[in-house]
Amino acid sequence: MPQPRRYRPVRRKLWAAAAALGVLLSLLLLPDHRRDDVGGVDPAPLGPAVPAGRSPSAEASPPGSAAPVSVAPAESVTPTGTAVAGRPGAAERGRPGADPRFRPAGPATPGAVTPEVAHLRLGGPDAPADGVQVRAGVPRGLPLAAGAGGLRGDRDTRTLGARQTDTQVFSAVGVTWVGDPSARVSVAVRSRVPSKGWTGWRAVGAASADRDPDARPEDRGPAQPPAGTGGPPAGSGADRAETAPTWRNAADLVWLGAADAIEVQVSAEVRAGIADVVVDLIDPRTAPADATAGVPATAPTPGTGRVPMPPIARRADWGADERLMDWTPAYSRPVQAVALHHTATATDYQPVDVPRMLRALYYFQAVSRGWGDLGYPVLVDRFGRLWEGRYGGLARPVVGAHASGFNRVATGVALLGDFDRTAVPPAAVEAAGRYAGWKLSLAPTAVHPWSSVKVTSEGGASRFRAGTAVTLPRVFPHRQTGDTDSPGDRGTAALGAVRDAARRYLGDRVEPSTPRQRLATWRPSDATWRAQGSAGPLLLGSVGDVPVAADFDGDGSGDPGTWTPATGRWRIANSGGGTVEEYSLGHPGDRPVPADYNGDGRAEPAVWRESDGTWWVGVGPPTQWGVPGDVPVPGDYDGDGRADIAVYRPVEGNWHIRGGRTVRLGEANFLPVPADYDGDGSVDPAAWSPVTGRWFLPGRLPAKYGEPGDTPVPAQYDGDGRADQAVWRTGEWTIRRHGSVRFGQPGDVPIVLS
């Protein structure tokens, strides 16, 4: 049996048709984050370890230097990947395989950059590791995080201190522990910059515990993906069974840029009972792609229909190693609000630093804290570039870990940096607003970024008990729902400008009369796509090609394309980037069946071979499902965010959905019309009779809508989250309860670009 032509993506610019495509797609449808550096202090160079109890005056300052802070350096502790009874084990540094909280599986994905991490295990006040000093109270001159001033008392506070001077260069420090998550904790860090000496102290407080419990049944977390779909990232938690959470409390990540030694002081209330304090020294490493990663801060001009997704760099662009991901993506209802955050890291970075900062933050939240992934859905740097954070699909309502108690109703965008005292750059404000506007445009009904929404808290680490009704602005600061100052004072002051930017980007999309779907046709006679309101036809492919339409670029909007049976060539006009992508997959006699099979928010090219019922999805192995005479009907029938392999058998009216589910709905020779008719987030099997015009939907009596010779075109035309029954009749679209729209000519093939 001939093997299909392999899946080979090739990106090409849409030269001659760029203007036409542009018109087509534009007209259609963590606690306080302040860093408290001690000014005017030049700490003495740290020499040999000072034994516990020795006076700090024994360590002299260089001539002419300022007096050091009155904190006796603790003895050096050894980087370790294991710990027994609070004691460090053998020295161990390397890639995350050394971390008992992380066991990578399989090879890294191409382009991925795996951080190197040294783990300093300090133990706790009651069982400190060797070389770790424990003091009553807070040493004189040591800064505390804002809001942690009550830690000064000797009776109620203990401070763990340690330093490490024998380490490779690292760029970020993450401190985690176990204990009472509500207790006051302050972490002070100073580092040695290669060839420059020691920095001053900077203090950070405990970060918010924004990872909520794993997906509830109604979130429909993904089950095992169909064979041959490529599945979740290799070695990620999405392809492993869910285990008991091991989330850790933490201070905000500290970005240093470059350091080759570290001193850490961890002050905490005695009642907190903190233990197993771990300091992760993270080297996100550099990669050649760092210099060119990211996308321009500009965005497409929004039209009168659905707004386009602003340019967002994907996880692969910043080198995410998907083996670090250890969670099962979950999805909720469409986004109702947008939370604004800041990461509380440095703000003086350069463009080339951003991918490294993201890799460090990714490791810290996914591995150090045990969250399994980045908590923020999207981040924006100070240059106005947007970056994909959490895995699961940009256009989909992925449950994040950024606003505890509200993660299932709100997406989030995090400003990369500390914006408590630093103003948010205009480019970052504009980009955050565009992202907020785009996400709000995906809601079932019209949403204005200056409006409010009433939601119910799910408790967690939020300010509101579970079940409390809370009215939130559509774009709100994280501090409004969580015990945090994020996005900082200046970040909060920028909220109005972010809402204004979102409103500008939405255009008249906030008006209820704006259509939610894009009506389009494929004209086989001249191989052109036409869309309602476009300036002209889009030539894409050749006569004899088969039209294909799906959201290939993950921007929430359908992309027109063609498939050539003779060669297996796919040509996709991406709505988000103004490019045409080409792929090679399939043979004569196959049927194109593109869909989002792996749950990443982007459809994969796929074909079904009727002769033997074999499915070929992307680069995955073949899967046999179906027999000759079946009709392939892939769709997300279980609501897990991934399209299921399925066939409709006309001779018996049965739906065979891979995974063991069989549904009888329809009669011989009915046409399958699967869609989400009840708005529950999963596709419903449904059938339409071309003889009687009757629709057969689950749980409903058959109802007539349409006439013999019509073409059924169900879709969510009014934006209420439920598919509407509709038919196309030689240039006229008739939508139940919404009237008719004339668009198309005889011989056209009607296609809805959702």
pLDDT (mean) for 721-740: 88
Q: Please list, residue by residue across 622-654, b when 16 or more beta carbons sit within 10 angstroms of its beta carbon and e when fewer do.
A: bbebbeeebbbbbbbbbbbbbbbbbbbbbeebb
645 lies in a domain? Answer: yes
* CATH number, position 656: 2.130.10.10
Closest Cα partner for 189 from 346, 405, 59, 327?
A: 346
Confidence check: pLDDT of 566 > 60: yes
287 lies in a domain? Answer: no
**For the ranges 226-230, 368-372, 384-388, which has the lowest average pLDDT?**
226-230
Domain boundary among the residues 495, 510, 525 is at: 510
CA–CA gap between residue 117 and residue 99 (Å, rounded): 8
pLDDT on residue 540: 87
pLDDT on residue 601: 77
Q: Are 632 and 642 spatial neighbours (Cβ–Cβ below 8 Å)?
A: no
Confidence check: pLDDT of 724 > 50: yes
pLDDT on residue 51: 27
Closest Cα partner for 210 from 487, 401, 430?
A: 401
CA–CA gap between residue 586 and residue 622 (Å, rounded): 12
CA–CA gap between residue 211 and residue 246 (Å, rounded): 11
> Is the domain of 541 the same as that of 448?
no
> Is the domain of 480 the same as that of 531?
no
- pLDDT tier for residue 37 given thresholds of 50, 70 and 90: very low
CA 613 to chain centre: 34
Closest Cα partner for 570 from 628, 617, 611?
A: 617
Please give the structure tokens belonging to residue 639: 């609501």
pLDDT on residue 295: 67
In degrees, to the nearest 5, what angle opens at C-alpha 355 toward C-alphas 354 and 357?
65
Instruction: Find the domain containing 170 and state its range.
Output: 69-211+247-282
Helix (H) or strand (E) holding 495: helix 495-506
> Is the domain of 371 the same as that of 495?
yes
Confidence check: pLDDT of 146 > 80: no
pLDDT on residue 98: 36
- Using one digit for the tens of pLDDT, what is the confidence trace for 148-185? 766 766 778 999 999 999 899 999 999 999 988 888 89
Confidence check: pLDDT of 739 > 90: no
Confidence check: pLDDT of 110 > 50: yes
> Is the domain of 499 the same as that of 532?
no
> Is the domain of 137 the same as that of 207?
yes
Residue 711 amino acid letter: T
pLDDT on residue 81: 36
Confidence check: pLDDT of 575 > 90: no
> Is the domain of 595 the same as that of 643?
yes
CA end-to-end span of the chain, whole Å?
36
Tally of structural domains, the chain: 3
Q: Are 375 and 363 spatial neighbours (Cβ–Cβ below 8 Å)?
A: no
675 lies in a domain? Answer: yes
30 lies in a domain? Answer: no
- Using one digit for the tens of pLDDT, what is the confidence trace for 610-626? 999 999 998 889 999 99
pTM, two decimal places: 0.68
> Is the domain of 498 the same as that of 595?
no
- Using one digit for the tens of pLDDT, what is the confidence trace for 635-693? 999 877 789 999 999 988 999 999 878 999 888 889 999 998 987 778 999 999 999 99
pLDDT (mean) for 627-634: 96
Of residues 639 and 143, more confidence is placed in 143
- Using one digit for the tens of pLDDT, what is the confidence trace for 192-221? 999 899 999 999 988 888 787 754 544 444
302 lies in a domain? Answer: no
Peptide bond into 397 cis (omega under 30): no
> Is the domain of 591 the same as that of 631?
yes
**For the ranges 42-46, 246-250, 663-667, 733-737, which has the lowest average pLDDT?**
42-46
59 lies in a domain? Answer: no
pLDDT on residue 44: 32
Q: Are 435 and 441 spatial neighbours (Cβ–Cβ below 8 Å)?
A: no
Rounded to the nearest 5°, which phi and psi values hold at 437?
-60, -45
560: β partners = 549
> Is the domain of 128 the same as that of 190?
yes
Confidence check: pLDDT of 20 > 80: no
Domain boundary among the residues 445, 480, 510 is at: 510
Domain boundary among the residues 492, 510, 528 is at: 510
> Is the domain of 650 the same as that of 682?
yes
- pLDDT tier for residue 9 given thresholds of 50, 70 and 90: very low
pLDDT on residue 241: 34
> Is the domain of 568 the same as that of 619?
yes
pLDDT (mean) for 53-66: 30
pLDDT (mean) for 731-735: 91
Residues 6 or more apart from 306 whose CB is under 8 A from it? 28, 29, 441, 509, 514, 516, 518, 556, 557
Q: 739: which DSSP letter?
A: E
> Is the domain of 447 the same as that of 344?
yes
Of residues 617 and 74, more confidence is placed in 617
27 lies in a domain? Answer: no
* CATH number, position 327: 3.40.80.10
335 lies in a domain? Answer: yes
Q: What percent of the chain has pLDDT over 90?
A: 52
DSSP result, 658-686: TTTEEEE-S-TTPEE--B-SSSSSSPBP-
